[in-house]
Structure formats: structure tokens, C-alpha cells
Amino acid sequence: MADNPTTPRRSFHRARYQRYTGGPDPLAPPVDLREALREIGDDVMAGTSPQHALREFLRRGSKDMRGLDKLREQINRRRQELLRSRNLDGTFQEIRELLDRAVLEERKQLARDLDDDARFAEMQIGNLPASTAQAVDELSNYEWRSAQAREDFEKIKDLLGRELLDQRFAGMKQAMEGATEADRQRITDMLTDLNKLLDAHNRGEDTTEQFREFMDKHGDFFPENPRNTEELIDSLAQRSAAAQQFYNSLTPEQRAELDQLSQQAFGSPELMSQLAQMDSALRQARPGLGWDESSEFSGGQGMGLGEGAAALRDIGELDALSEQLSQQYSGAQLDDIDLDALMRQLGEEAVVDARRLAELDKALRDEGFFDRSADGEFRLSPKAMRQLGQSIFKDVAEQMSGRGGERQTRNSGRLGEPTGASREWQFGDTDPWDVTRTVSNSVLRTLSEATDPASAIRGIAESGVRIDVRDVEVADTESRTQAAVVLLVDTSFSMEMEGRWTPMKRTAIALNHLVSTRFRSDELHLIAFGRHARTIDIAELTGLQPRWEQGTNLHHALLLAQRHLRRFPNAQPVVLVVTDGEPTAHLDPSGEPFFFYPPHPQTIALTVRELDHVSRLGAQVTFFRLGDDPGLANFMDQIARRIGGRVVAPDLDGLGAAVVGDYLKSRSRRRA
């Protein structure tokens, strides 16, 4: 059949797909605050302040996102690749090192001085400009207190002078190292005489005798050993023109910085004045050497005009990016990072990482994950604690998933609280029906068994749903039996020394999350005990920093635990003890802690007495023994037999699962 000429012919367009380059990817997933908060929480639990933990996370990044340190490392590596063979980089580096060393020595001296002028000097030293040239210029008239700092700063002036001379006189940098004032005066005299010689030559005068006198007096500065004025000019003009070509390749900002540094050469602008006069005379004598063009650096690797200018622009841009990524200056923000410059230097992936870091930093602050306590300290907010607890509890639950029966917390009971899940009805169940699921099951079963689905649908519409026992589902519930739970955690310094500090905190956070979200009728109380004991909330425990504190005062902790248990006389008492050491401290009659190691008999006796009191309250006591201390193992085994308690010896990775699992078992026993 022929095509109808009036029918429009379909046209097909072939699509091509490539990486999105129109700015931030609109389809990119949002930043994962949970992972960030998890890592920040780990640092906080290890004893780092929340603000410092946030900075450290941004610096190190995550497994899927480079941090500021990694980006800065790549920036600095690229800078080194650009300047590896450029001698000027070495000079700038030497100047920066000398400046940093001088400032450090001066700060040490100022810290030892107690007068007001020293405090003012500290402020001046602490607010130096980021630019090396500006910092050197600002310190040129500074009254140094440290002799070592003054010596290092004078070396900067000496280095600048030698570098400038080396650009024009071969070997001058090494020859003038450690030069005295007399040596510098010889340089000044040589330049003065040289400029007189060049001026006479440019005026057309016969300089034979003047040249001979000049060489007799200053010939050691010219290893090339020129034979006449023309050869002297040829040698000097080539190096001088190369120096000018290098200068021409700099950006205006870089030329200004070099000019500013040059004024400090040998501590006087006179050197630059003499060199400028010499360059002018040499240019007049040899105008065809390309003074207005770029040339090779005097180092091992040269650059033409375009390459040199581009490289120097890159160096300035890389230095700025390195400072922005360091975030070490006052008022630093991630928004300061020049993303366009980062794109040019490291490519699109680096920009994506930097943008995600900025978005993550902003989101963490804007979402209210940090707040300030009454005493003004920066801390994790309740919202952050809930997120952190959820993350940690998820890990604990995954560890428990392989344990048969330990996570089964379902209970059929008339007074149960719905969990949000449902299950098939079983004989003897008294839980309420899940009506929606039951009716749905009936409809689906009727349709699946019918030979004519259309007729079945009409039948349901006319006569309603017929429910079979197979369709019934009941709402899953939890028992409302209340418990007064006390978690006693050891905060003595041995917990930190043996790497048990963070696992202990993670355990407390996981249990607190479970109780506060799943078993809200239970009353959880946290007690931290070292040389003395105190009640503590979960946020404070999370940020608690380890202290050099000897003593395991379980006696005091049990006294506080009994107060909590007596507040809820109708609740089932549950006591969970996490420790890595025998009791080595107790409260004496005055209320002061008494410490003695090895454990004093009185300490053991008082601790056992309070454990007996806890047992008489009907408490179920479980000890979680950390480490392999035989004395602790013997003590706990005897106590467990005495009061009918339990001893669990988990590894650190399984501590959270052991504590949470024991708590859930206690609920199962209460329901039974």
C-alpha cells in the first residue's frame, strides 16, 4: 500500500545524553545529614566539642565526598607541580618560613613578658595580613623583643637583596649569603660605580680607563671576566632583560607584591633604586633584547610569555583557594570558596564536593542540630540527639538481628499499646482486630477464589464482604507494664585508656532511644560513676570528656539508683551496670569519696550492702563486665550468685546489643 501523500510523515530525533553542566545538578540527591551527624556524634562521644567536631567532619569529608583537607591537598600539589622548577618559588617559600619562624619566636617571648606593651604586641602579631609582602612591610618597623626573631626577620631582608642581585649578577645569591654590613656597602659602591660607567658609555664617552678601574675595584662580582665595557653590558643586559621579562609576566597584583617586598631588600629601598637605574641604562644600551616581552625564569624550567603569565595567575589563584579551604582566618565561611576558580584548577568534581560541603554545613546549622546551653556552650540539640540515637540504635538492632528470640518483643495483652504492625490471628489472641487489613484480605481472597471475577465484584457490592477466619489480622501490641530502669556507666579514666569510652556512650544513647521512642512508659535514669557518682542526662553524657580520675565508686552510684527506684514503687526495678573495674571508692560518712587500690575491704563491704538493698527492692541486676580483669570477674560472679543477678562479658562491639538485648529480655520476663 502506497503512502498517502497527505499523511504527515513522522520524524524521529536521536537523543544524546551527557553530564549536566548548567550549574548544580537539579536531580542530585540531597545531602545526607544522617551520615554527617553520625560522624560528628562519634567525635563528640570521643570527647570533642560539637563545634570542633563539625569543623573536623568538613575537613575530612566522608567516603563519598572529599573534605576541605583533601581539596586543599590537591590545590597545594598542583601549585607545587607548577613551581617545582621555578627558583622564585623557593625564594618565596624561604621568606614565608623565615617570617613564620620569627613570628613564632616573638610570640614565645611575648607570652613570657607580662607588661601591657606585650599584650598590644601580641595583638599586632596576631593580626598580620595574609599576604607575605604586606606582613613583612608591617613588621619592618616593629620593635622585636626576641633576639632570635629579630635575626630571622633580618634574614628576610638579606634574602630579598640576594635574590634581586642574583637575577642580574650570576652566583650573587650564594656569594652574598651571610653578608656583613661591609659586604652590603661594597654592593652599593659597586652599583654606584657601575651606573656611572653605563651613563658614560651611553653618552658616547670613551670608557676604557673607567672600565679598567671598575674591574680592578669590583672584578670579583663578575665571574664572566668581561674584557671591555661592551662585553660587560652584553652580560648584564641579558640577565637584566630576563628579569624584566619575568616581571612583565606577573599580574598587576603580583607586581605590586614583588615591588613591596623589594623595598625591604637589605633593609633599605636604595638597592631597588640602584637596580632600576642600572636596568634603565642597560635597556638604553641594548634596546633589542625584548624588554617588553616575557622570558624564561632563571631556574631550571623556563616559561614563555603566555605560559608564564598563566602559571603565575594560577599560582595566585591556588594560593587564594588554599587559604579559603583552610578556613583558618577570622570569619571564615564555606561560601568564601571561589567555585569558579576551583573549577578551573581541579575540575567539576571538586566543585560538586565543595558545594555539598557548604550545603551540608548550612543544613546542619539551619535544621537546628546545634544549640547553646545555659552556660553558653555549643552542644548537640535534642533534635540531633534523636537523630543520633536512631542511627546508633539501628546499628545495635542489626547486631541483634542474628540472635534468635532476643528481638521478639511482641506480647498479646488486653492492655497493650499498638505498635503500628499487624499479624495473622491465632487461637487465644485477645488483641483488637485490624479491620482495614481484615476486610482487604477478605476481598482479595473472594476475588482470587471466584471463577468469574466480575460476578464476584457484583456480589460483594450487593451483599457485602464475607469474612473467613483466614482473613482476620490483629493489631500488634506491646505490654504496658512499667519499669524503672537505671543504667550505671563507669566513667573512670580506665574506660578511656582501654578504648571503652565511646562504646559506653553509644550503648547509653541506644538504650535511651529505645526507651524514649518505643517504651515510653518506662522510666530510664542514667548515672555516671568515677571517683564519685552523679545523675546525668543523655545530652550531657554524650558530650562528657574523659578526665584523669581514679576510682570506681559503685557504692555511690547504687545509692543514687535506689532513689530513682523508690520514686516508682509500682514499677519493675531494673538495674544495668557497665564497668571495667572492681569497686575502688566509696562515700565516707562525711559525704566525701574515699579511694584506695587495691580495693579496700570497707569499700567492698559497703558496695555489697547497697547491692543487697537493691536486690531487696526486687530489682533485676545485670553486670556488663568489660575487659579481662580476674579480680573484677571474681567479684561479679560472687555478687551475681548472692543477689540472683546476671553477668555478661561482651566485646566492645557487642556492648550495645548486649545491654539493649538484656533490657528487652527483662520486658519479656515481666510480661510472662
Q: Report which of residues 239 and 197 the model is more confident about.
A: 197
Which CA distances in Å does 151 have to 58, 145, 155, 165, 441? 39, 11, 6, 21, 90
Which CA distances in Å does 12 have to 5, 7, 9, 15, 258? 18, 16, 10, 9, 62
Rg of the chain (C-alpha set): 40
Looking at residue 416, the DSSP 8-state letter turns out to be P
Highest-confidence range of 78-87, 155-164, 228-237, 397-406, by mean pLDDT? 228-237
Task: Judge whether 339 and 358 are in contact, CB under 8 Å.
Answer: no
Alpha carbon distance 656, 396 (integer Å): 6
Cell of 598: 587495691
Task: Judge whether 565 and 617 are in contact, CB under 8 Å.
Answer: yes
Burial 430-453 (b: 16+ CB within 10 A, else e): ebebbeebbbebbbebbeeeeeee
Cell of 74: 590537591
Task: Centre a 10 Å sphere on the Cβ of residue 267 and count the other Cβ atoms it contains.
Answer: 18
- AA identity, residue 181: E
Which runs of E-coded beta strand occur in 540-588? 572-579, 585-587
Task: Judge whether 345 and 337 are in contact, CB under 8 Å.
Answer: no
Q: What is the pLDDT of residues 452-487, one digit of tens each?
A: 877 777 877 777 888 888 888 887 665 546 889 999
Q: Helix H segments across 250-381? A: 252-262, 270-285, 305-326, 339-346, 348-366
Task: Judge whether 573 and 615 are in contact, CB under 8 Å.
Answer: no
Task: Judge whether 297 and 86 are in contact, CB under 8 Å.
Answer: yes
Looking at residue 6, the DSSP 8-state letter turns out to be T
Helix (H, G, I), strand (E, B) or coil at 524: strand
Among 40-54, 332-346, 414-428, 433-447, which is the least confidently predicted range? 414-428
pLDDT of 21 strictly over 60 = no
Task: Judge whether 193 and 218 are in contact, CB under 8 Å.
Answer: yes
Cell of 250: 606577573
Query: CA 291, 293, 299, 301 torsion: positive or negative?
Result: negative
Q: Report which of residues 49 and 187 the model is more confident about.
A: 187
What CATH topology corresponds to 483-671? Answer: Rossmann fold (3.40.50)
Cell of 485: 530502669
The values of phi and psi at residue 163, to 5°, are -65, -45
The DSSP bridge pattern shows strands 523-529 and 533-535 to be antiparallel
Task: Judge whether 406 and 668 are in contact, CB under 8 Å.
Answer: no
Q: What pLDDT does 425 receive?
A: 76
Alpha carbon distance 193, 213 (integer Å): 10
* Residue listed under C-alpha cell 658614560: 200
Domain residue extents for the chain:
33-83+314-372, 87-300, 417-478, 483-671
Cell of 603: 569499700
The CA angle 287-290-291, to the nearest 5 degrees, is 75
Among 283-292, 401-410, 467-476, 615-624, which is the least confidently predicted range? 401-410
pLDDT of 268 strictly over 70 = no
Query: CA 44, 48, 51, 55 torsion: positive or negative?
Result: negative
Alpha carbon distance 45, 152 (integer Å): 43
Looking at residue 263, the DSSP 8-state letter turns out to be T
Cell of 362: 548550612
Q: Report which of residues 7 and 649 the model is more confident about.
A: 649
Q: What pLDDT does 664 receive?
A: 82
Half-sphere exposure of 260 (CA within 13 A, CB side): 16
Query: CA 535, 541, 543, 544 torsion: positive or negative?
Result: positive
Alpha carbon distance 568, 525 (integer Å): 12
Query: CA 366, 367, 369, 374 torsion: positive or negative?
Result: positive
pLDDT of 305 strictly over 60 = no
pLDDT of 413 strictly over 60 = no
Taking residues 60-77, what's their average pLDDT?
A: 84
pTM above 0.75, yes or no: no
* Residue listed under C-alpha cell 599586632: 124
Which CA distances in Å does 102 have to 134, 147, 268, 300, 557? 15, 9, 20, 30, 54
pLDDT of 279 strictly over 50 = yes
Task: Judge whether 584 and 591 are in contact, CB under 8 Å.
Answer: no
Cell of 464: 457485602
Provide the terminal-to-terminal Cα distance of the chain, rounded to the nearest Å.
Answer: 83
The packing angle between helices 382-400 and 655-671, to 10°, is: 80
Half-sphere exposure of 556 (CA within 13 A, CB side): 26
* pLDDT level of residue 623 (50, 70, 90 thresholds): very high
* pLDDT level of residue 516 (50, 70, 90 thresholds): confident
Q: Any residues with CB less than 8 A from the CB of 588 and at least 6 apart, and which?
A: 594
Which of 439, 442, 410, 440 is closest to 426 using CA atoms?
A: 410
Alpha carbon distance 205, 199 (integer Å): 9
Looking at residue 4, the DSSP 8-state letter turns out to be P
Highest-confidence range of 16-25, 126-135, 220-229, 596-605, by mean pLDDT? 596-605
Q: Any residues with CB less than 8 A from the CB of 518 and at least 6 apart, and which?
A: 478
Q: What pLDDT does 362 receive?
A: 79
pLDDT of 307 strictly over 50 = no
